Amino acid sequence: MNMQNRMESDIATMRWVGGTDGFLQMIDQTLLPTEFREIECRDVETVWEAIKKLRVRGAPAIGIAAAYGLVVALQTGTGSERPDFDQRLTEAATYLAESRPTAVNLFWALDRLQNLAAGLPTLSNEEMHTRLLEEAQRIEQEDLEMCHKIGRVGAELLTAGDGVLTHCNAGGLATSGGGTALAVFFEAARQGKEIRVYADETRPLMQGARLTTWELMQRQIPVTLITDSMAGWVMQEQKIQAVVTGADRIAANGDAANKIGTYSVALLASLHEIPFYIAAPSSTFDLSLASGSQIPIEERLPEEITHGFGKQTAPEGVD
């Protein structure tokens, strides 16, 4: 399946190469902006590692990668009988679900493919494998279409000349290519609104500095990089008219979880009476959770703070 309605500015974050015996190719985002390299995921372990190590990140992109990860997993160890195939599918889904806990799109995509297989028990292994690949491609296509719709709706909220702040990276790199929060900026710029984006650096892994600024500069959209601690100051200086971020998971009451630091930005926006918008696709909503207090929060290795990018920046043994 070829991706339809892809805009010229969309980034091909990942793509499936070949048929059911093919592989998943994706941009290694840990190397940006200094190096552009694509990696090939030819087994489920490589997909798991890419998600865990943030080579692919952003809730929608994680979901798409996980769906393709199941297709890769089913290339081996399925046996000749359908029960063996279904067992391998379950094992691979359980394995991939352990990669990152917060992004609900991961679990949503895995459940979608498992439910498809459960509803078609009479198909052969080969037929079911083909259907699962088609479903993964459908998830990617649907995400791309939702990104463009988010951009069109969100751009209506911005006025020509606005300064807008965003945290982390919710652009094409975090999705099938169109972006969520950044889709709003892409569309506003396309409409000639001449906005300026203020991008938080987003510690400790600097997704704002490394990825958001890179995406915006690729599209020649004016962007100013600020430290995370500058958000309040630029608001006080009236440089910001709106804040737009993505989300990893949204509960039934509208509570949203996003990259660490988003809560502080939201409080600052509220204090300065600046509108704060969450831009996310429907796959990010988790209606099984009543509120944000039930969202599982990922805790990552302390070395990401104490030894960021291979350089020690804190004493050994610090809590």
Give the catalytic positions in this structure.
248
Contact 170, 180 (CB under 8 A): yes
Mapped onto helix, strand or coil, the DSSP state of residue 163 is: strand
Separation between Cα atoms, residue 184 and residue 231, nearest integer Å: 20
**Look-up of token digits 């569309």:** 187
Separation between Cα atoms, residue 178 and residue 29, nearest integer Å: 16
Mapped onto helix, strand or coil, the DSSP state of residue 115 is: helix
Q: Are strands 276-278 and 256-257 parallel, antiparallel or unpaired?
A: unpaired
DSSP 200-245: E--TTTTHIIIIIHHHHHHTT--EEEE-GGGHHHHHHTT--SEEEE
Separation between Cα atoms, residue 179 and residue 10, nearest integer Å: 8
Closest to 139 in 3D by CA, of 296, 288, 278, 16? 16
Q: Are strands 14-17 and 23-27 parallel, antiparallel or unpaired?
A: antiparallel
| Direct distance between the N- and C-terminal alpha carbons of the chain, in angstroms, rounded to an integer | 49
Closest to 259 in 3D by CA, of 270, 250, 243, 248? 248
